[in-house]
Amino acid sequence: MRAQVCIIGGGPSGLLLSQLLHREGIDTVVLERRSRDHVLSRIRAGLLEAGTVGMLRGAGVGAGVGENGLVHGGCQLAFRNRGFRVDFERHVGKGVTIYGQTEVTRDLYDARDAMGGTVVHHAEDVVIGDADTDSPHVTYVKDGTGHRVDCDWIAGCDGFHGVSRRSIPPGVVKEFERVHPFGWLGILSDVPPVAEELIYANHPRGFALCTMRSRTRSRYYLQVPASEKAENWTEDAFWDELRRRIPDDAADNMVTGPFIEKSVAPLRSFVAEPMRWGRLFLVGDAAHIVPPTGAKGLNLAVSDVHYLSTALIQAYGGDMTGVENYSGKALARVWGAIRFSWWFTALTHRFPDQDDLAQRLQETEIAYLETSDAARKSMAEQYVGLPF
């Protein structure tokens, strides 16, 4: 098989890259290890920056988010069981949109189908070859038969555990990592959200987040030890603990119900640089992981796709500047998001060795956000997403 660009990974970043390139006449093939049903069953993030929404519209897949996305012009921060609002629209003139990653992925699959895009599922034993030459290729096995894709470029959109980053020789990539000593216990329930916008709550017992997927489906999180097991939590225990940590008025108005899904997600900060080796590019989680506190994971992947799609379109027009600059441009935005996510995590979470002084310092910084326009503007500017 021959394709101009071979994309490894059929999640939202790989599909979006394929869609953008196809619309510019660039032939792609997407290799995905799992089935489409499995990809669409994964529960992931649901907050889109304005730039991400713009990218989806530019790719011709903005109808779903336009019709069903919930536009938020702000969020709440809380401490000592009381909250206040950070007004994004007032401070930076734009907001964010709640629209699940599963829905984004489904919209992209539908768009690829409509354009006759090639997406190969159950592509196993993927091997990247000759990425440091002008003639890279990718081999894989499907249904027991080996296949080969000869291509001009390879995009590694296959996540933290994928083959792409591991295919780069030792010593070429430097990795930066911090594993956090806590996780998020998350639940999904078909109950109305407790508030119109997200609530980020600092509490001596640990962080809590109230968010949603729609006006009738809510997503809630509790900070728990990294070793915690989801099965240790009953529904009643979760709802009781959530009420303890969030603002009193929200706790009084909360509607509870049975869980659709329950899991514990670890938190880590991770960056691999550079994000390019020869004709292989790393995209999204293959190159970086951020704590979910700032909701930057999917949005960073989309900004990577912006830089890479622009670079490849330019390359086929004879200009290699974007290819040469891809890693530097992408990493500048990645490190900004890593810094913001770390700051927001440190502000809102209870650390294992945290004493009463540290708790009061967190509360004092949140109180400063409540009273300072400049502080709220800085937070809002980074939360809604810095320009690509």
Q: Which residues are catalytic?
A: 72, 200, 292, 296, 383
CA distance 182 to 198: 21
Residue 357 CB-density burial (10 A; 0-12 exposed, 13-18 middle, 19+ buried):
exposed
Tell me which DSSP letter residue 64 carries.
Answer: H
Pairing of strands 5-8, 28-32: parallel
349 three-class SS: coil
CA 45 to chain centre: 6
Closest by alpha carbon to 31, among 136, 164, 215?
164
The maximal CA–CA distance of the chain, rounded, in angstroms, is 64
- Is the separation of the CB atoms in 223 and 98 below 8 Å? no
Query: Where do the H-state alpha helices sit in the chain?
Result: 12-23, 36-41, 50-58, 63-68, 88-92, 101-115, 163-166, 235-245, 248-253, 297-315, 321-348, 356-371, 373-383
Q: How far apart are CA 331 and CA 274, in angstroms?
A: 8
